Amino acid sequence: MRFYNKFLDFLSMTPKEGDEQKDLAVFIRSLSIIFLFYFILTSVALFASTYYVAAIFEDLCAGFFLLSFIFTYRGKTNFAMDFFGAVIVAAPTVLTLVTGWKTNFQWCLLIEILVLYFSLEINREVKQKLLWIISADFLVLVLLSHLIPNNLELAKGWNLYFHIFSAAAYTFAFHVIAIFYSNKFNTAEENLREVNDRLRAMASTDALTSLPNRRVMNEHLTMLAYSYERTNTPFVIAIADIDFFKKINDTYGHEAGDYILKNLARIFDETMKEKGKVARWGGEEFLFVFENASGAQAKAVLEGMRNQVEKTVFHFNDDDIHVTLTAGIEDYSQITGIEITISKADKKLYQGKEQGRNQVVY
């Protein structure tokens, strides 16, 4: 087991090109080892059956597979793939012509077709041209190996030996290819899912405060209105605005304003946990929705939040900044709908502004 683990570690070593070539390198190494042993072991049967030239040619090809294996550790992974492809096409072509169709060397060509599409370095047009060449080679082998008689007969007992290792080699090769393609597909799918999640988050989240944005809140309000029609579950809408926010930006700079918005967003988010939802509505305005609550309950929560903000000192660089909030609250009514409910909350907000700010109007 220890030797097996060390062998896997050796097989999985990152090539000199870096991590981006690692999968391809391990892929070529695995296949090279399989066909290295396949050609050596089947050459024994040919040698025992006195087909010396074919046996020596197989051993030579086994050496080429060893070279493709070594190239992946020398910073030549792409070359190793090309070299492997050339050998896996040329060797079975020659051996099939020499030994006949029944020896099954021709199936190596199918391995190369699958290998071709694993690398991203070869463009699609080149892959298609190589595919046509390999397919033509395969058809020529079909014709020639059946039209030209071949009297190759393996020595007694070696026929079974030969075909056992042939079957094992192709089984292992297809197994390796299936694993690598599966891993590649799963990785690509996972990366795509992560990208989609990030894009979805970007589309639904305010970049500065990390709160839901206006679009998401509108969707949420539509869902609550639909639920209200079915279950009569009440909810309350409130709009809060930072008092004299323009003055903060003018006095301390826009970075200070952003700092205030981010910190207030954290306070708002903590306040609204298990009570409803808060979103950045625009600029220094935030919209709150209290689910399954009355206006009086919402006002109590907002008063506590307003008081917390008033007592908080925001330290930015060498400045201590004090902030206050004004908010307006309105109960949702099916008769008036979402837009008018928001408009009424907004009017109460401006009523609070006119009455001196730093207050919640219900």
Active-site residues, by number, are: 284
d(CA 113, CA 135): 9
d(CA 345, CA 332): 10
- Are residues 63 and 96 in contact, defined by beta-carbon separation less than 8 angstroms? no
- b/e map 100-127, b = 16+ CB within 10 Å: beebbbbebbbbbbebbebbeebeeeee
Of 321, 322, 287, 324, the residue nearest 305 (C-alpha): 324
Residue 349 makes CB contacts below 8 A (sequence gap 6+) with 239, 240, 241, 326, 327, 328, 361
Q: How many angstroms separate the Cα of 249 from the Cα of each of 171, 267, 301? A: 70, 20, 28
Token reading at 159 = 């026929």
* Angle, alpha carbons 278-284-286 (nearest 5°): 15
Q: Edge-to-edge, what's the strand order for the sheet holding 285-291?
A: 276-282, 285-291, 235-242, 325-331, 360-361
Partners of 236 in the β-ladder: 290, 331
Token reading at 120 = 């991203």
Residue 40 makes CB contacts below 8 A (sequence gap 6+) with 58, 59, 62
d(CA 349, CA 345): 6
Residue matched to tokens 């046996």: 55
